[in-house]
Amino acid sequence: PKTDIVFLKVHKSASSTVMNVLFRFGETHNLTFAFPIGGGNQLYYPHHFLARFVRGFSPKSPRRFNILCHHMRFLQPEVQKVVSSSAVYFSILRNPVQLMESSFVYYKGTSAFSRAHSLEEFLSQPYRYYNPTVSDSHYARNLMTFDFGFNPDGEVSAERVQLMLKAIEVSFDLLLISEYFDESMVLLKEMLCWDLDSVVSFPLNIRDSSTKSPLSDTMVEKIKDWNRLDWEIYTHFNRTFWERIDRDIGRERMQQEVKMLRERQAELARTCLQGMGSVAPKDIRDSSLQPLQHGNAKILGYNLKQGLDKETELMCRRLVTPELQYNSALYKKQFPQKRP
């Protein structure tokens, strides 16, 4: 199994669920994480990543970490200072239309979105609300482009788009697609030589459907237009994703792998969860499993079954622990407080 990994955690793209997979694997195999100084959950985002943002990094005696997976704005020369040269790089993409709809709800408090009553209103005159010079403007336009380290307000010429796609291709070994999450996990498992249980997950940081709104065709086109760079990245890597499946696995075997993954997930849901699925925030009984609520989104969570044996309880708890709680538990484990 490969243990040196860089995951570029793109915002609002099922990346919290992927992070849980990495947290669990890292914890069970005693791997080191490149944590932000101070133990937060972002590496000084939205600044471009620098090696010195990582706790325990020192240029004098460069220490290599196994897993780098916290939110960052990608800058490969700096990333290379904290991980081994053989590290596997991957990320996840999401259809920019759904991404924008999700961001508008989740990042409602940001400068670009706070004054617009609806996404429709924002898109009817984006420059009335959007100012590229404001520090949180990246949430409102070409968010994936920004997270990969590029300029979200750059011109959309064929040449520039090609250079950007090429740069991503050169840096990353695999780009997952969140709309095909199970297929993505199978590809990841193959690339990392992991077993099935390592990539099984329950969806984390997901919104209650009551806060989702359907989009008209006109809106869809406006979103694609406004996020043209993201759209170019997504359509290109969605195509290469399927090309890779055809080349490395084949559709038939992929179907079987996905079926096995879903069966295992259902089995774990029966073992671990009360009521088999996610519940509204107000119905989560264990406060340590309460996910962060943000913006106007309602983030769902889980209840574990009572009376599980110790080992099963631990396995189940890891699967449903929200990102912030899991992050701080692993941070404390890696940097234990010295007793006075």
14-59 tens-digit pLDDT? 999 999 999 999 999 999 999 999 888 999 999 999 999 999 999 9
Residue 83 to residue 65: CA distance in whole angstroms: 5
CB atoms within 10 A of CB 108: 15
Mean pLDDT of the chain: 95
The pLDDT confidence band at residue 239, using thresholds 50, 70 and 90, is very high
Residue 239 to residue 325: CA distance in whole angstroms: 36
State percent of the chain over pLDDT 70.
99
Q: Identity (one letter) of the amino acid at 135?
A: S
Phi, psi torsion values for 52, nearest 5 degrees: -70, -5
pTM here?
0.96
Average pLDDT over residues 83-95: 98
Does the structure show a pLDDT above 80 at 252? yes
The pLDDT confidence band at residue 63, using thresholds 50, 70 and 90, is confident
Judge whether 46 and 337 are in contact, CB under 8 Å: no
pLDDT tens-digit readout, 285-316: 999 999 999 878 889 999 999 999 999 999 99
DSSP 39-96: G-SBSSTTSBP-GGGBTT--SSSPPPBSEE-SB-B--HHHHTTTB-TT-EEEEEE--H
Domain ranges of the chain: 5-93+163-210+230-334
The reported pLDDT for the residue numbered 270 is 96
